[in-house]
Amino acid sequence: MSDIAFATVAGRDDLAGCGNNRRRRVGRAPAEAARRCRLAVVAAMSLLAASPAGAQETGTVRGTVTLVENGGLVDGAVILILGTGAFALTEDGAFEITNVPVGTYEVTAQRNRLAAASRTVSVTPGGTAVADFALSLSPVREEVTVTAAAVGAAATLQSFNAVTTVDSLRIAREAPATIGEALEHEPGIANRSFGPGASRPVIRGFGGDRVLIIEDGIRTGDLSATSDHHGMTIDPSSAERIEVVRGPATLLYGSSVVGGLVNIITPHAAYRNLLTPPESYGESLTDGTRAQLGTDFGSANRQTATYANLQHSQGDLLFWASGGRRQTGDYHTPEGPVFNSASELSSARTGVGYFGDRAFASGSFTFEDSRFGLPFEHLFHAGHGHGEDDHHGHEEEEGLEEEIAIDLASRRRVGRWDVGLRNLDNQFIQGVRAAFTAIDVADDHVDTIGGVDNVDTRFNNRTWVTRALVYQRQLEHVTGRFGAELQFRDFLATGAEALAPRTDQTTFAAFGYEELSFGRYRVQLGGRVERNDYMTAARPGGGDHDDGHGHDDGHDDDHDDGRDDDHDDHDDDHDDDHDDEEDHHLEPPDPRDRQFLGASASVGLHADIGENSAFVASLMQAHRVPALQELYNFGPTSGTSRSAAPTSSRRPPWGSTSASGTSPTASAAS
């Protein structure tokens, strides 16, 4: 399994002069008594961490890394002992990793713009295993994943999961405007789009809630899964790389991820998780200041984009700041411009990280603002819901449509704090980490008529996530990680397209992912137990219901009063027509609280059948909890296409129909 060489965009250190930059730290995967996690679910974790430290036999792995073309020493290469979380950075081409538990491991050496290499070593008690590497210049190399690994990082060939990686070099070369565009050319991945800005990946035909988007291992908290109107506000230029994972490792992040998950890894992920360092970890720890500046242009939509990143490392501290702006105009086609297809996105990030011998921590803030047009959406609104008025006045509508533009303005704010321990002296646990994240998202459905903006519908989505992970030490044949996640969500929609009532969702999950190694055969076991509680308020607009045609519920009685017998036939005909209209009108059901408890599990087999080939089989059963919009949405919207066509005789030109969400009787599906 191979892919394009990992490389970074302009401004980062190149291979030339690789012996000049000194790397100071060596990461290890030894152990210490783990303290109790803040979440109640991690009680079992605390018991393990509190167990007395036991003497464990260890050894040392050392070696050198040279360049094939000229035999020179390669400085700054990342050495990973897969399955343990242990890593080192070469200084003057040499490395040494101490306190490695006894056993047989695969060791990999990686360096930007060089082909990766791997060696198998056996560590004996008190002994020293030697692993020398010779790396060559190559645009193709073996990929390593941190999202789907049991512990630390793993080569994709050794993974039980299907992993696709898009690195920063490809992102810089292709200059995609959205995450969906960055992935749409990968096998099995498409780009769902309601316009250039409203974009989201579709994996193996699955979209919406069945594809999970995470950023450095934590949910993004946006509303892109709820409707095609809503998009992702993360600029792909801010990503170090993007990993797409399909398979049993998705249970670490959610039970409803039947399509797969997308992990957007930022350049500062190293200080959020020192137990699974990315390739750029060595550069992150280089004392001094690093800067990156990128820009791209597009002619079809007059795209202009600029992204800058600055970070300064001094001793155990790292400070970073980054930001960018991307703007496009209406797309131009041979038939003319696509009306209201322009978009704009601004983003900024700042944070600080600390790396000690035993503890590491970081805190960061993210600010994202975007606004993008929804092409043809004005046609749906112009023709929808007029009833009998649709039989006349089309000429007036045609003139009005050219003056209406419907946009989605989105704002996303994120505060994140990560803490962790490593080098633990516990015989079972090598490290623990926890992340606390607060996300505030507001999407406004904006109608612009005659140059004046009017917020038609506002969506507020606030999410608080606490996630804890325990990384196990490799013991004989077993390694893995387990943890828990607690999430609170507050959703509120107000306005004309508020299809769901205000809803509070609480999610609690416990999960584990284990690998058992027996020589050339490995077995994977995974599981997740998840409980979801939905608590709703009353639907807005209670009381007497207007049927949308200008008639209230008492219309028939008022209409019959004062009429003589000469009009009885007319009244009967009118009542029949009115009854027919009422037959097609659906009353929204009263929302009720719902609770779901489900378990998911996976099992897999990995067998090495050659140096560059393997047989992998896995079986997973997932309990998918219905999403909020599936439970409570009621009413038509052009943002999805799951049910009846619009009441208007005029259909949107893109061919999809409007949709109503399912009623509250929807149930979980396995």
- In 374-477, beta strands by DSSP E: 404-422, 429-449, 452-472
Has residue 546 got a pLDDT over 70? no
Q: What is the mean pLDDT of residues 440-467?
A: 92
Q: In this structure, are residues 578 and 593 in contact, taking their beta carbons and an 8 Å threshold? A: no
Task: Give the residue, 560 or 421, on which the prediction is more confident.
Answer: 421
Give the whole-angstrom CA distance, residue 172 versus residue 240. 10
Has residue 648 got a pLDDT over 70? no
Has residue 319 got a pLDDT over 80? yes
Task: Provide, rounded to the nearest whole percent, the portion of the chain with pLDDT above 90.
Answer: 24
Query: Left (φ > 0), alpha (ψ -120 to 50) or beta: where does 439 sit?
Result: beta
Has residue 630 got a pLDDT over 80? yes
Task: Output the pLDDT for position 346.
Answer: 94
Has residue 465 got a pLDDT over 60? yes
> In this predicted model, what pLDDT tens digit does every residue of 76-117 receive, in sequence order?
788 888 767 677 888 888 999 988 888 888 888 887 667 778
Has residue 350 got a pLDDT over 60? yes
Q: Please, which residues bridge with residue 492 across strands?
A: 460
Q: In this structure, are residues 183 and 207 in contact, taking their beta carbons and an 8 Å threshold? A: no
Task: Output the pLDDT for position 286.
Answer: 57
Q: What b/e readout covers 307-333, taking b as 16+ CB neighbours within 10 angstroms?
A: bbbbbebeeeebebebbbbbbbbbbee
Within its chain, how far is the Cα of 261 from the centroid? Answer: 6
Give the whole-angstrom CA distance, residue 186 versus residue 205. 13
Q: Which amino acid makes up residue 442?
A: A
pLDDT, the chain, mean: 75
Write down the pTM of the prediction: 0.71
Tell me which residue has tokens 């989505």. 461
Give the whole-angstrom CA distance, residue 245 versus residue 254. 12
Query: Left (φ > 0), alpha (ψ -120 to 50) or beta: where does 367 sit?
Result: beta
Give the whole-angstrom CA distance, residue 410 versus residue 486. 25
Q: What b/e readout covers 336-358, taking b as 16+ CB neighbours within 10 angstroms?
A: eebbbbbbbbbbebbbebebeee
Q: What is the dihedral of CA 286, 474, 36, 38, to 10 degrees?
A: 70
Task: Output the pLDDT for position 501.
Answer: 93
Q: Please, which residues bridge with residue 164 across strands?
A: 244
Has residue 653 got a pLDDT over 50? no
Residue 397: exposure state from Cβ atoms within 10 A (0-12, 13-18, ≥19): middle
Which tokens belong to 122?
């056996």
Q: What is the mean pLDDT of residues 244-250?
A: 86
Contacts of 428 (CB under 8 A, 6+ apart): 31, 48, 51, 472, 473, 475
Q: In this structure, are residues 459 and 497 in contact, taking their beta carbons and an 8 Å threshold? A: no
Cβ neighbours, 10 Å, residue 113: 16
Give the whole-angstrom CA distance, residue 40 versus residue 72. 53
Q: In this structure, are residues 253 and 243 in contact, taking their beta carbons and an 8 Å threshold? A: no
Contacts of 611 (CB under 8 A, 6+ apart): none
Q: In this structure, are residues 129 and 152 in contact, taking their beta carbons and an 8 Å threshold? A: no
Give the whole-angstrom CA distance, residue 156 versus residue 149. 9
Tell me the pLDDT band of 143, cut-offs 50, 70 and 90. low
User: What is the three-class DSSP state of 512?
Assistant: strand
Has residue 656 got a pLDDT over 60? no
Q: What are the angstrom distances between the C-alpha of 443 and each of 52, 223, 386, 407, 643?
A: 51, 8, 26, 10, 24
User: What is the three-class DSSP state of 51?
Assistant: coil
User: What is the three-class DSSP state of 395?
Assistant: helix
Contacts of 471 (CB under 8 A, 6+ apart): 85, 151, 152, 275, 429, 430, 431, 432, 433, 481
Q: Residue 380: name the closest of 494, 492, 497, 549 by CA.
A: 497
Contacts of 344 (CB under 8 A, 6+ apart): 325, 326, 327, 328, 370, 371, 372
Q: What is the mean pLDDT of residues 271-298?
A: 65
Complete DSSP assignment for 294-355: EEEEETTTTEEEEEEEEEEEETTEEEEEEEEEEEE---EETTEE-TT--EEEEEEEEEEEEE
Q: What is the chain's percent helix, strand, coil content, to nearest 5?
A: 15, 45, 40
Give the whole-angstrom CA distance, residue 517 versus residue 152. 16
Task: Provide, rounded to the nearest whole percent, the portion of the chain with pLDDT above 70.
Answer: 69
Give the whole-angstrom CA distance, residue 126 versus residue 140. 37
Q: Residue 149: name the closest of 435, 524, 528, 520 by CA.
A: 524
Maximum Cα–Cα distance for the chain, whole Å?
Answer: 109
Q: What is the mean pLDDT of residues 369-386?
A: 71
Task: Give the residue, 208 or 567, on which the prediction is more confident.
Answer: 208
Q: What is the mean pLDDT of residues 196-221?
A: 88
Out of 323-327, 536-540, 588-592, 652-656, give the one with best mean pLDDT: 323-327
Q: Please, which residues bridge with residue 413 across strands?
A: 367, 440
Q: In this structure, are residues 217 and 273 in contact, taking their beta carbons and an 8 Å threshold? A: yes
Which tokens belong to 5?
């060489």
Q: What are the angstrom distances between the C-alpha of 290 and each of 26, 322, 453?
A: 21, 12, 42
Q: In this structure, are residues 429 and 31 in contact, taking their beta carbons and an 8 Å threshold? A: yes
Give the whole-angstrom CA distance, residue 127 versus residue 62. 11
